[in-house]
Each structure stands twice: as C-alpha cells, then as structure tokens.
A = this chain, B = another copy of it.
Amino acid sequence: MTERLVVIGADATGMSAASQARRLRGVDELEIVVFERGGFTSFSACGIPYWVGGAVTARDELIARTPSEHRERGIDLRMRVEVVEIDVAGRRVRARDLASGQESWTAYDKLVIATGATPIRPDLPGIDAPGVHGVQTLDDGQALIETLEQTAGTRAVVVGAGYIGVEMAEALINRGYSVTMVNRGSEPMSTLDPDMGASVRAAMAGMGIEVIGDAEVTELRTGADGRVSAVVTAAAEYPADVVVLGIGVRPQTDLARAAGLPLGTQGGLRTDMAMRVCGYDNIWAGGDCVEVLDLVSGTQRHIALGTHANKHGQIIGSVVGGGYATFPGVVGTAVSKVCELEVARTGLRERDAREAGLQYVAVTIESTARAGYYPDAGAMTVKMLAERLTGRLLGVQIIGGEGAAKRVDVAAVALTARMTVEQMITLDLGYAPPFSPVWDPVLVAARKAAKAVRERD
C-alpha cells in the first residue's frame, strides 16, 4: 500500500528529508508531497552575505537543487502553496495556493514539519520604509542588491551584530559602503563572552566598521522621498542610505502551536532523538523550527544553523524511509568571519556555565595560527572553559587570522567525547610550520586550563 509523506517547507530540512526518503523508498511505496510557500527550494541562506558582497556572482549558485530537479526525482513539489493548518487528529493539512487563494486538505500518513525560522523584525516606526532590508530569503538578497546598485549614498547601518550582522558588514564594506553597526548588547557577537566580543569590536574598528553597543533602536527615520535616512537610538542618530536588519530569528512554529504540538521554552518544537515530535509517532520536525539538546549543558536550545538543518533532514528521511538514524544533539559550534578576522565558538560561555549551575575555570592564551616564523602567521586568541574538579572541557572561543576558526572543531569533538582538558594536552594534532606552531594553540589553551583546574582546588 502506498503511504503518503507530507513535508511542510522545501528548504534544507524539508528537501533533505524528502530526498533521502525517496532514495530509500520508491514511488510505488511512498508518495511524497512537499508544500513550499516561497519560490525557491534547497537554497543556502548562509550564502546570501557572500552574494550581496560580490564573492558569489549569481543567485542561482546558492540553489543546491531547483524545484524541477526535485520533481524529476519523484517528489510532488507544490511551490507558492502555504500550509495554514495541521489537523493532527485527522492526519491532514490544509494548504492555500498563494496565487489563486484556493484552499484544500491533503491527508498524510507521515508528516515532516520544516517551517524554519522567522527573522525578528521589531515593530518600529519606519521599519517598512524603502532601503530597509532583511536578508533571510533569496528575494531579500535580490532586493538588497537592487537597492545597493540604485542608491547614490554610501552609508550603511546594520542593526544587530551577530553572525548575520557581521557577515553583512563585510559584504557592505566589499560593496564600498561605510558601515556602522548598532547593537543592543554591549559587544558584538553575543555568542562569545564579552571579553572576546570586545576584541572582535576592536578588530572591526581597525577595518573601519564602528560597532555601537548598548544601543536600542527607537526609530528608522525617513527622508522627504520616503526612503530610510537614519537609524535613531535613545542616544544618537546614525545617517543611513541603506539599513540591514540582522537581529536574529525565532522558530517559525505558529502552525505547530495552533495544532497543539509541544514547544520548548525557546519556542521551538520538541523532538526525540529520531527527530519525532515528542508524543507523536508519525510527525517529525527539524531544522530552524526545533529545539535541540545541548550535550554540554544538558539543556534544550534553539540554534538556527544550516548544518543542523541538513543533518536533521537526512535523519528524518532515513527514519521515514525505513532506516535508523538519530541526532544526539549539538555542542554549539559556530564559525564566522568579518573580512580578515575569523571568529569561532563551541560549548558554553561563562554565562551559560553559570546558568547551568556549573563551576568552571576560564583561561585565555595568545598564539599564532602558523609557526611564528612562517609568513602570515596571524595572531590567534583562544579562550577555554573547563569544569572545576572534573576538568571536563566546557567551551572554546577563538578569534584570529586565517586558519584560526576551524580549529574550533577539535574542541567540538572533544566536547562530544566529554574529554577533560588534561586529556586534550597530548592530542595528536597535525603539525607543520605552514599549519601550526609546534604546540597547537588549542593545546596551549588546554595546558593552561588544566593548570588552572589543578590550582583551583
């Protein structure tokens, strides 16, 4: 008997799930219907800053697979059709064709919710003025590029200084704009501790990017032409020919909430390790609309990242397709860059550790990403947290030049394996002068952290 799988959302999670399920089960076994309210499938939102900045030259390079390519693989993909209700008891969804407005019910045997996240868009005067742009969808990117090409001015203000914010700052610099960032927190990159964030701010100042901290935007002022002209805070006003919003996202779970599905404290769907929505045998969810287990702190967190979304989709597709796979959780790894500065983090910040009730030591070391005598041996700062008494690694933050950021992966694996910093000292990491000092900076940090653990008690 043919089962029907319905997937809501055709981006990373949805289409990875649909594709993997299709690989495992043929069209006579499993019918796959995917609803997508937008106009694109399987695109890289993470790539938008590099498209805007000009490193990626064409929009379509960001599209991993088009609707027609998915359809050729036997997936019934319905574009610009929005699911507006999930009837859990009736095992069906109500969908609206956005062009015609027509609605209809579609029954499912299995359902995948991959509705992603919604950018936070504060209800401010002027928020909808021309020249104010979000950067979540390809349409957003296209609109911003058109604005940049058509605007005479060269002053950009980025609201928010997280990953998207700093990546957009780089893109705007590459476009020849002067960039001011207006940030609610005291330091940029709030996923770092403030001391590391301050170093990022100082480095950005050296690139000509001013980051205004502790600044709450109260208004987006518009000029006589109706276009945005300035970003206003309680303390000051920042002239702007273009404004980019990079304030963050929240899980898009309106449908799920209305259907009574379980949500966590951060607003994301709760799932088990096989990505099944808790309490529901035939509903899965993944990507930016779910919460994930933080393996370091044991808490549930919402982390919107393409790499998790793809893994979730792969796992859901395997399970729906009759296989077995699980997602044990995350350790909170993220990497980014602003021009020449690389930034990375994994595990817990000091604040996270305190909130989780963990006592810790924190150390910071300075080193270089290559042997000190090798050309372009950029400076590199590593901050490391370890649990008191046990010495278990709790987190690592890195800022530095080329070759710095991906070193965080060593800590990500060590966190997953619940290694102690003492164990990390003798890790057999790759050494040659073009790649590392003879003591890899992560090991230097581990050595200092282990010493701090020993001396603390």
Asked if A306 and B431 make an inter-chain contact with CB atoms under 8 angstroms apart, the answer reads yes
Is A12 interfacial (CB-CB < 8 Å)? Answer: yes
Is A238 interfacial (CB-CB < 8 Å)? Answer: no
Chain A, 157-175, CB within 8 A of any chain B CB: 163, 167
Could you say which of A229-237, A258-266, A329-337, A383-391 contacts chain B? A329-337
- Which residues of B are found within 8 Å of A50, using beta-carbon distances? 373-374, 433-434
Question: Nearest Cβ in chain B — how far from A78, in angstroms?
Answer: 25
Asked if A410 and B408 make an inter-chain contact with CB atoms under 8 angstroms apart, the answer reads no
Asked if A417 and B426 make an inter-chain contact with CB atoms under 8 angstroms apart, the answer reads no
Asked if B374 and A430 make an inter-chain contact with CB atoms under 8 angstroms apart, the answer reads no
**Which chain A residues have a beta carbon within 8 Å of chain B's beta carbons?**
12, 44, 46-47, 50, 55-56, 61-62, 163, 167, 305-308, 310-311, 314-315, 325-328, 330-337, 344, 346, 371, 373-375, 403, 405-410, 412-414, 416-417, 419, 423, 425-436, 438-440, 447
Asked if A407 and B406 make an inter-chain contact with CB atoms under 8 angstroms apart, the answer reads yes
CA distance A291 to B422 in the complex (A): 22
Determine the residue in chain B with the shortest Cβ distance to A408: B430
Given A56-B374, A406-B407, A311:B47 Cβ within 8 A:
no
Determine the residue in chain B with the shortest Cβ distance to A62: B373
CA distance A403 to B414 in the complex (A): 20
| Most interface-central of A375, A409, A432 (chain B CB within 10 A) | A432
Given A407-B409, A430-B406, A373:B56 Cβ within 8 A:
yes
- Which residues of B are found within 8 Å of A410, using beta-carbon distances? 409-410, 412-413
Determine the residue in chain B with the shortest Cβ distance to A328: B426
Given A373-B44, A374-B50, A409:B431 Cβ within 8 A:
no
- Which residues of B are found within 8 Å of A44, using beta-carbon distances? 371, 373, 433, 438
- Which residues of B are found within 8 Å of A447, using beta-carbon distances? 314
- Which residues of B are found within 8 Å of A432, using beta-carbon distances? 46, 163, 167, 334-337
Subset of 29 A-B contacts with CB under 8 Å: A44-B371, A46-B371, A47-B371, A47-B373, A50-B374, A55-B375, A56-B374, A305-B431, A307-B428, A308-B428, A310-B438, A314-B447, A325-B425, A330-B428, A335-B430, A335-B436, A406-B406, A406-B436, A407-B409, A408-B430, A409-B429, A410-B410, A412-B427, A412-B430, A413-B417, A413-B419, A414-B417, A416-B428, A417-B419
